[in-house]
Amino acid sequence: MLQRIYDWIDDRIDITPIWRDIADHEVPEHVNPGHHFSAFVYCFGGLTFFTVVIQILSGMFLTMYYVPDIVNAHASVEYLQSEVAFGMIVRGMHHWGASVVIVMMFLHTLRVFFTGSYKKPREINWVVGVLIFFVILGLGFTGYLLPWDMKAYFATQVGLEIAISVPVIGDLLGELLAGGEIIGAQTLTRFFAIHVFFLPGALLGLIAVHFIMIRRQGISGPL
């Protein structure tokens, strides 16, 4: 039955090459912790992706309750945290996941650096990886404001002061992020849009490029 469904689809869109591309590649001995335990360092990239998936899923559920305006934001987070079934766990996953993504990504970066895997022909993939690093830091920064509590507000104030101190474009950058001269209603909606639409879009695009390049180039050989 499954075979017939597969054939039916394959007759129409010829998915076998795509499926074989995704599924059929070798896992060399030197990256397989089953053979050499020290190869666990090669897991950090995958764990970063796994945590990013957790972030996207938990974030999708958070937006079901979160209200991005300064009057209701804090109350909606409080309600989500204390009243909604499993709300505490979902918010906890998103909160701690942010830290875990950064830790895993940092370890992945160190692994790639210290195994010299960024060298020819993988330069472009390294650059894409560093861009992913920036996008994730941006997600961490913009997500911090959304609960609209004391910590969020004052940490964002510091962040925006840093942005404004950039020469030439600083003032424009600050206004673009804050949506005005003070941190207020505009800032919250902008950070929400950046956190929920702009940066995740960029992140998914970059991750796709990252993965396609890995499939093209294969994993770097043993040292």
The footprint of other proteins on residues 49-68 (CB under 8 A) is 50-51, 54
Shortest CA distance to 100 belongs to which of 156, 47, 56, 143?
Answer: 47
Q: Which stretch binds other proteins (CB under 8 A): 163-171, 173-181, 190-198, 202-210?
A: 163-171
**Binding to other proteins by residue 210, rule CB under 8 A?**
no
CB of 105 to other proteins, least distance (A): 10
- Find the binder of other proteins among 39, 41, 107, 115 (CB under 8 A): 115
CB of 194 to other proteins, least distance (A): 16
CB of 220 to other proteins, least distance (A): 8
**Binding to other proteins by residue 46, rule CB under 8 A?**
yes
State yes or no: cis peptide before 121, omega within 30 of 0: yes
102: left (phi over 0), alpha (psi -120 to 50) or beta: alpha
- Find the binder of other proteins among 118, 173, 186, 209 (CB under 8 A): 118
Say how far apart CA 27 and CA 44 lie, in whole Å: 15
Say how far apart CA 48 and CA 110 lie, in whole Å: 13
Report yes or no: 103 and 52 within 8 Å, Cβ to Cβ: no
Please name the amino acid found at residue 141. F
**Binding to other proteins by residue 155, rule CB under 8 A?**
yes
Neighbours of 89 (CB within 10 A): 10
Give the dihedral of Cα atoms 111, 32, 104, 221; nearest 10 deg: 30
- Find the binder of other proteins among 56, 84, 107, 140 (CB under 8 A): 140
- Find the binder of other proteins among 56, 102, 213, 214 (CB under 8 A): 102
Say how far apart CA 1 and CA 144 lie, in whole Å: 49
Binding residues for other proteins restricted to 61-100, rule: CB under 8 A: 70, 74-75, 77-78, 81, 88-89, 91-100
Binding residues for other proteins restricted to 179-208, rule: CB under 8 A: 182-183
**Binding to other proteins by residue 2, rule CB under 8 A?**
no
